[in-house]
Amino acid sequence: MLTLVEKIFFVAALAASLYFAGVGFYKVYRAVLRGTGEKPTFGYMLSRLWHAAYTWITTRPIWKTRGLSSLFHMMISLGFIFYFLVNFGDVVEGMLPVTFLGQNIVGDIYRLLADIATMSVLIGVIYFILRRFVFNDKALSYRENVKLVDRVKQGGIRRDSLIVALFILCHVGFRWVGNSFKVSLEGGDPWQPFSTALAQLWAGWGEGARTVGEHLGWWLAIGLILGFLPYFPYTKHFHLIMSGVNFLTKPKRTALGTLDPIHFEDESQELFGVNTIEQLPWTHLVDAYSCIMCNRCQDVCPAYTTGKELSPSALEVNKRYYLNEHLGDVAGGKESELSLIDFAISESAVWACTACGACVDICPVGNEPMFDILYIRRYQMLMENSFPDELKTAYRGMERNGNPWNMSARDRMKWANGLEVPTVDENPDFEILWWVGCAPSYDPRAQDTARALAKVLAAAGVNFAVLGEIERCTGDSARRSGNEALFFELAQGNIETLNEVMGEQKRRIVTTCPHCLQTLGKEYSQYGGDYEVIHHTQLLSELTAARKISVERFKEVDMITFHDPCYLGRQNGIVEEPRKLLLDTNAFVVEMPRHGKHSFCCGAGGAQMWKEEEHGTAAVNVTRYNEAAATGAKTIAVGCPFCLTMMTDASKQADQGIKVKDIAEIIAERLEGA
């Protein structure tokens, strides 16, 4: 199609575009490699290839929320992915006297898909232009108290979004127009209905004019790519590629919120945690370029939605803009002069995170902003000795007495007075080790849960034992607040104890606390503690299924809503067992809008239990309580001692007569023959 002069000019323009684009891509590559952590092996990436490709092509994670926007985004992404082939085909046809894929059924289907992809992308882009620039969707903005780099404050996201949107609109639009001239010259094509429809406008034009239109459309469409390509690594559109890199290289975790360990035995390690951007794990630098800037993460963030300074989306956006502004320095190995707290996130935001994992779970491109925050906490705690004063009591208690309440270890079994709760010394042949946990041992309200579970286990004839006074805190709050050294100390001691009492037999551990479930079952393995740990709702479900316990059904249907603890539902996928237990009591389970793996946090995680809540417009626990109360339920059921405390406090404050009970309490109250 192209003349010889055009071909020569195209080759020269292509070479220049690829060169300057290559420089940009290489800088991003070098900057990403500045990050810490092991790089994935070829074998690891090969093992993830199918998962990564499937997730990337189908945009599967995006469908968790915003159904309409997700539909239009898929129309753009699938269309644009197909356009890699379309653009290649157009170049082939421009440079060679051939029809790409031939005049056969394969070629016909290709041209039909290309025509559909064209309209799909155009419609999708127009939707997003209207959404951002006409209707000014508030979901795409940030509150004034959220820290943003200067360029974002000055409208950088809107400007960059407009550039990308116009590029896509013009590139695909000009390709459609140019192709319609081609179809007009060929007399129409039933396999290209949209191009054929547009071609009717040129029916009265002469052949020469239509040939010029075809050439002009080709050059405008392909030329836009050549001009845009060097700019591409610096745009938000880069997420189209980098999201695939994220899916391909992201390290596997035993559970959604499992933190990477610090190996204190390595005496050469001088830095603990993260302070500057190049100290982040390299995959978290990929996160910055993968970010769609859709703000889905801040929609589900309990800190952001209650008015705190934390926005996980802003964190990723700030990283992205900082990297772009300092790309040469970062890629060249220069140490950053600014810390992440200087430009990416405020100190209050760092300590507002509840470590609920909602931002990680919802992200459609696999970003993990929660981990950035927790690694920053590590640096603040271990390197700067900077942390909220309220945590000192909890730390002191864990260090001296093995519990954050700082109560005597000799009092750990007082909750069991009058109950038959054997210790491992009294029953060394136990089948199940009950890890009671600190809250049920020391907190008066959570002790009711422990006593209820003891009653049920006794009624079911379960052969169990507890550690008693030798049990110590698992260290969850220490780890999530950045005190990895204290966590390491607690983990080492607990693993030594557990390995001794568990022996060689295949025994399970049960706990009423999802945080203990996560730490014991998913994180102690990092230090040689491999255990099968289950939640008490799982054990109770097993017992009811085996008819070892039965419950009296409520004579009148009781409306109950179940609040899914973050570390039970989202982090460990346990959502059905608690509901089945409630249904067995004839309860009418009414769901909150946010439930199951998409539950809203109670506000106690991430060591928030031991500190004052950061300033905002509302309390997280009150926000969650109001959501529960709006269902009309008379009882809020929980499966976590932290959630029990937070929901009970909110219920007392509201004074609406709504009860808050652990599922173990509900089952114990309904035991037949009790």
CATH of domain 559-669: 3.40.50
Span 234-290, pLDDT tens digits: 998 899 999 999 999 998 888 899 999 988 877 778 899 999 999 999 999 999 999
| Positive/negative CA dihedral, 192, 193, 198, 203 | positive
The end-to-end CA distance of the chain, in Å, is 88
Q: How much is the average pLDDT of 113-137?
A: 96
Q: Is 579 helix (H, G, I), strand (E, B) or coil?
A: helix
Model pLDDT for residues 597-608, shown as the tens digit of each residue = 999 999 999 999
DSSP 8-class letter at 561: E
- Output the pLDDT for position 555: 66
The predicted-structure confidence for 547-590, as pLDDT tens digits, reads as follows 999 888 766 668 999 999 999 999 999 999 999 999 988 889 99
Closest CA to 155 of 143, 141, 167: 141
Kindly state the tokens that stand for 446: 């959570």
Binned at pLDDT 50, 70 and 90, residue 543 comes out as very high
- Residue 324 half-sphere exposure, CB side, CA atoms within 13 Å? 21
pLDDT of residue 269: 82
Instruction: Read off the pLDDT of residues 621-663 as tens digits, 9 standing for 90 and up.
Output: 999 999 999 999 999 999 999 999 999 999 999 999 999 999 9
CATH 1.10.1060 domain range(s) in the chain = 255-383
User: Which residue has 């390299």 as its token pair?
Assistant: 282
CATH of the domain spanning 255-383 = 1.10.1060
> 3-class DSSP state for residue 589?
strand
The CATH 1.20.950 domain(s) of the chain lie at: 4-248
Query: What's the CATH architecture for 4-248?
Result: Up-down Bundle (1.20)
What's the CA gap between 172 and 195, in Å, rounded?
12
